[in-house]
Structure 1
Amino acid sequence: MTRKMDHHLLEKYLKGDATAEERRQVEAWLEDAPEEWVDAFMAGQHGPAFPGADKAAFTERVMDRVRPRRARWLQVAAVLAGLLAAGWYLLKPDKFKPRAPEMVDIFVPANKTGAITLPDGSKVIMNAGSTLRYAKNFEGEARAVSLSGEAFFDVQPDTEKPFIIRSGGLSTRVLGTSFNISAYPGARKLTVTVLTGKVSVQDTLSHRAVTLLPSQKAVFTPESALLSAETVSHPENEIAWRQGRIIFDETPLLEVAEVLSRRYGVQIVLQGDHLAQCRFNGQFEHDSLDAILRMITRLTNTRAKRAGDTVYLSGKGCASPN
């Protein structure tokens, strides 16, 4: 039965800090240690597994110096070579370990929008309450970003390096195009709307995917894990928020409440399930929340009561949902 070895003792051994007794303990353990302990050692508390190519190269170099005199040491030498290579890897992190890319986090607070230019020249306009995260220099084989919230992307073409946005349960892949993504945490649906070019949208769990062309939208419902594509009559309405405008076109009142909650940094609560599917039409530009609520209550037969950062909508509502 293989004896368990303390990782801290192994590290002391590899660094040359072990006492004579500790060296004997390690060498005794090496006699019956399986070779997979090399990877187990690296995958424990010491970071990622040793890269295969580097591990093979270092093992070969160490084995050139380690020539056991007895057959029983052949396995020991192989394991020791791997551990020595691992030790070299640990002691030379800057040279042999993959360097973690420097990450950039951009956050836009409620009732504001923000515009940024990414390292490749792509433009991003972010809606209120949104966060974008990406590697500072777009290192790697893809231009990958993570989005929580809503943003409009105008991506620079690069056939050698696709642009990938991870947002909620969706992965959106493009080469060069313009599109809008809405993927706020807790939202009842996530959407990707294409204005120009072509976009592939994939559910990261099921790997189902849809391909979108201009004036098409992908809709993903996290609760049911359904991903579908539909045609959009007025795709420009999806990005009206860039000019500070909000457009509701036969929009369910529950969705209206979600949009306004995110935009103004409040929580709008519908008191009664019968209000959820009331439809609302309206266009607003730089209007105050109170002005919008007055319009909503007048057209949906509801009343609004505000308590701090929470707004309660109640009342009879629509006689019959449209």
Structure 2
Amino acid sequence: MEQNYSKALALLEKFHAGKCTPEELELLDNWYRSIDQGEEIMPVNQALSDQYQQQFLLNFRQATEKPKPRYRRWIAAAAAAVLLGVGISYLLSPKKNHPAPNDYLAITNTDTTPKLVVLPDSSQVWLNTTATIRYKKNFDLTHRQIQLTGEAYFDVKGDEKNPFVIRTRDINIRVLGTQFNVEAYPGEELSRVILSRGKVNVRSAHDSSVSVVLKPGYAASFSNEGRNFDIDKVNTLQTDSWKHGAFSANDISFKDAVNRLCGHYGYTVNWQNTKDINKHVNVLLNNTDFRNVLSNLCYINRKNYRISDKQVTIY
């Protein structure tokens, strides 16, 4: 029992550190679904620091999809149960009546260059660095649904009878056949869809009545805080420039641009100077050397930086 408990805690520590594989995230998801919905969950262990608990909740929110309203209860229940060790044995022996992790395929771009994925229906997906797509093994012309975390550019094969659906943390995108870019980075307030060709329907994952139909040359930005869409005309020539090796910050905040860049290269960011970091930048840099791009971004926002090991400090 002690050995099993240690293994479970090790898995939870991986989750807290953001290092879980898609299969391990699915295991945690299955574990939650095994909990009796009428079961009373004990209070969170007061011995653990508030910072640890808040970070655990934040990681849970960023790392998993929210397909149904019950997700908010999931966060509270899972955090309380996990921090107390409730139901920990399930993590090591999931029940057979729940979907197995092997039912899904997950593809993550761990390189610093774009990764092209051709789906079973011949649709093409370019994954930006750190982006992940996840879909069931029975993905075919009649079951075209995937989950996305991060940024990806899609060229979807047309099929009027079987729409292609992309689900992210905050938005769901329904398309027939088109080209578009999706930005759904964990930790960022905004999720965005930029349409190059065709037509897409974009809906809130929290309220299906909140939706927009997007035309080519426009972007739909969804605010996780305001739970609404803003529509803006954009330069679509810049939309997929990252596919060809460039670094593109297409009307996003300086903070998000730096976080994306550093995340792509495995760096963390220490913000000592937060003045004007939410001001938007619009840059396209063909020289994607990490220090060169970081230097240019900081120059635009009148910031200095220093690098120590794998941490970037902005001051």
Q: Name the TM tier (shorter chain).
A: 0.5 to 0.7
TM-score scaled by length of structure 2: 0.63
CA-CA distance at 1:240 after TM superposition: 0.9
Name the CA distance, whole Å, in 1 between partners of 2:298 and 2:263.
19
What one-letter code is carried by the residue in structure 1 that aligns with 2:223?
A: T
Residue 204 of structure 2 aligns with which residue? 203
CA-CA distance at 1:150 after TM superposition: 0.8
Total equivalences in the alignment: 222
Cα distance, 1:100–1:252 mapped onto 2, change above 3 Å: closer
What one-letter code is carried by the residue in structure 2 that aligns with 1:204?
A: A
Cα distance, 1:138–1:278 mapped onto 2, change above 3 Å: closer
Name the CA distance, whole Å, in 2 between partners of 1:250 and 1:239.
14
Residue 237 of structure 2 aligns with which residue? 236
Cα distance, 1:157–1:266 mapped onto 2, change above 3 Å: same
CA-CA distance at 1:100 after TM superposition: 9.7
Residue 216 of structure 2 aligns with which residue? 214
Secondary structure of the corresponding residue to residue 295 of structure 1: helix
What one-letter code is carried by the residue in structure 1 that aligns with 2:139?
A: F
For residues 268-296 of structure 1, give each alpha carbon's deviation from its aligned partner in whole angstroms, at most 9, with x where no partner exists. Answer: 33323313145545432243211223333
Query: Does 2:271 match 1:270?
Result: yes
- CA-atom RMSD, angstroms? 2.9
Residue 186 of structure 1 aligns with which residue? 187
Name the CA distance, whole Å, in 2 between partners of 1:250 and 1:195.
16
For residues 190-226 of structure 1, give each alpha carbon's deviation from its aligned partner in whole angstroms, at most 9, with x where no partner exists. Answer: 1011111000000021211000010111101112222
8 Å Cα contact 2:166/2:173 also seen in 1: yes
Residue 226 of structure 2 aligns with which residue? 224
Name the CA distance, whole Å, in 1 between partners of 2:137 and 2:262.
31
8 Å Cα contact 1:180/1:192 also seen in 2: yes
8 Å Cα contact 1:111/1:265 also seen in 2: no
Cα distance, 1:312–1:213 mapped onto 2, change above 3 Å: same
Query: Does 2:109 match 1:111?
Result: no
Matches within 5 A, 1:81-160: 102-138=103-139, 141-160=142-161
Name the CA distance, whole Å, in 2 between partners of 1:188 and 1:195.
23
Residue 247 of structure 2 aligns with which residue? 246
8 Å Cα contact 2:150/2:183 also seen in 1: yes
Name the CA distance, whole Å, in 2 between partners of 1:269 and 1:252.
16
Name the CA distance, whole Å, in 2 between partners of 1:286 and 1:231.
26
Q: What percent identity do the matched residue pairs reach?
A: 27
Between Structure 1 and Structure 2, whose CA radius of gyration is higher? 1
Cα distance, 1:302–1:133 mapped onto 2, change above 3 Å: same
8 Å Cα contact 1:191/1:219 also seen in 2: yes
Secondary structure of the corresponding residue to residue 217 of structure 1: strand
What one-letter code is carried by the residue in structure 2 that aligns with 1:125?
A: W
CA-CA distance at 1:134 after TM superposition: 1.2
Cα distance, 1:161–1:264 mapped onto 2, change above 3 Å: same
Structure 1 alignment gaps of length 5 or more: 1-42, 46-92, 315-322
CA-CA distance at 1:138 after TM superposition: 1.6
Name the CA distance, whole Å, in 2 between partners of 1:256 and 1:44.
39
Name the CA distance, whole Å, in 1 between partners of 2:141 and 2:281.
45
Residue 53 of structure 2 aligns with which residue? none
For residues 32-71 of structure 1, give each alpha carbon's deviation from its aligned partner in whole angstroms, at most 9, with x where no partner exists. Answer: xxxxxxxxxxx999xxxxxxxxxxxxxxxxxxxxxxxxxx
| 158-167 vs 223-232, greater mean Cα deviation | 223-232
CA-CA distance at 1:171 after TM superposition: 0.6
8 Å Cα contact 1:117/1:124 also seen in 2: yes
Cα distance, 1:210–1:289 mapped onto 2, change above 3 Å: same
Matches within 5 A, 1:17-28: none
